[in-house]
Amino acid sequence: MGGIEYLLTVMVTLFVIMDPPGIVPIYLALTGTMDQRERNRAALQATLLSLGVISLFALLGQQIINYLHIDLAALQGAGGLLLLLVSLQLLTGQADEPSGTATSNIALVPLGTPLLAGPGAIVAVILFVQQAPSHADYLWIALAIIVIHIAIYLVMRFSGFLVKILRRGGIEVLTRIAGVLLAAIAVQLIADAVMGYVELFESSAGATGW
């Protein structure tokens, strides 16, 4: 697989997993009560955090997982539980209550992680690094990660015009819809974690002849 082809493979995979267009309704729901400057800052902070987390796991992901004795299914389950808590806040209206640290909190959790830098993206990056045909392909992986995060930032940065169209009532409706979508994502992550452990148990049982 050539360098450009590997770059495209990594980019397409991360784009599908991180889903920049899909983050828009959740981003707008979480930042709907902010002014334009706060929304832009939240978008930048979330993007930088996601870039930092993904880059960290690209460099040291396998070592971190091995050192902490963490299964990939555990990452999925933890991410699912965290998203479930956030979705409940959206559905009950607690996310609409302003607070002095709302911007930084929203940018870090759930936008930066686990929505953007979630278990799926982390696992994909670790696997791409492990399967890289040559050391030179590490540069293509790095470039793909940077390009995807630029796209993510631009999508969130220029989605603010929708706030003017939706206004307060539309944002409230969008918040509830985003809560449902987020809950569905959370349940899917938890289900994938359970299935991961089931497959791990079955493979272990098969190996021991049970």
The model's pLDDT over 7-35, given as tens digits with 9 standing for 90+, comes to 998 998 898 888 888 788 888 888 877 88
Q: Which residues of the chain have pLDDT under 50?
A: 98-101
pLDDT at 197: 86
What pTM was computed for the model?
0.75
**Cβ pair 16, 24 in contact under 8 A:** no
Helix (H, G, I), strand (E, B) or coil at 134: coil
Dig out the tokens for 107 from the structure: 């940018």
Dig out the tokens for 113 from the structure: 């992680």
Q: What number of other Cβ atoms are within 10 A of residue 161's Cβ?
A: 9
